Amino acid sequence: IQDSGSHLLNLIDDILDISKLQAGKFRLVTETINILEFTNDCLAIIDHPAARKQISVIPKLDPGATTFIADSRRFKQIILNLLNNAVKFTPEGGTIGLDVKGKPEDKLISFSVWDNGIGISDENISQIFKPFIQIDNRLSRQYEGTGMGLALVKSLVELHKGTIEVESQPKIG
């Protein structure tokens, strides 16, 4: 009951966030964030779901990237959503990772979440950032979800003046 209630609350929060984003009424509260602390917090949260599926989590942090400016709560929402998807779509015993690279000369930080899960074909990549869309094939239909997570991620990334890219191949991740 508790898991179902928590899932329902997250669903409602996602719907409210998407509504605010689409209405242009969403505001970020930015601050300087320590990358090591931030990634450790995210990895600690994802550790239990990954452990349940015996998934290895590999962080790779650029030592030159120490801080970045963002809305801490919302950026954590972005990274956790991506990490949760990586765990969800990676088979038992698989591997996921979080890579952080800095480009100080351009004042940029790159976060990459990767996995060796089911992957997605090129023709379906454009669909994954649309709200309430789930790619309808035999593999992805096995996994629960609302189809709102990646739409929310994309909107939050863009609100941070960032970009999001996907590289994937079926059965490779």
More confident residue, 129 or 3: 129
* Longest Cα separation, the chain: 50
Selection from 124, 50, 130, 48 nearest residue 85 by Cα: 50
Each residue's pLDDT tens digit, 85-130: 999 999 999 999 999 999 878 889 999 999 999 999 888 888 888 8
Burial 20-37, CB ≥16 within 10 A → b, else e: ebeeeebebeeeebebee
pLDDT band of residue 62 (cuts 50, 70, 90) is very high
Whole-angstrom distance, CA of residue 133 vs CA of residue 79? 20
Whole-angstrom distance, CA of residue 31 vs CA of residue 64? 19
More confident residue, 42 or 2: 42
Each residue's pLDDT tens digit, 18-32: 677 766 777 889 999
Identity of the residue numbered 96: I
Mean residue pLDDT of the chain comes to 85
Span of 13-17, 110-114, 159-163 with lowest mean pLDDT: 13-17
Selection from 71, 69, 67 nearest residue 21 by Cα: 71
pLDDT band of residue 142 (cuts 50, 70, 90) is low
Whole-angstrom distance, CA of residue 171 vs CA of residue 163? 25
Whether the pTM exceeds 0.75: the reply is: yes
Whole-angstrom distance, CA of residue 55 vs CA of residue 53? 5
Give yes or no for a contact between 112 and 157, defined as CB atoms under 8 angstroms apart: no
Give yes or no for residue 138 having a pLDDT over 60.
Answer: no
131 in helix, strand or coil?
coil
Give yes or no for residue 144 having a pLDDT over 70.
Answer: no
pLDDT band of residue 132 (cuts 50, 70, 90) is low
* Residue 60, beta-bridge partner list: 99
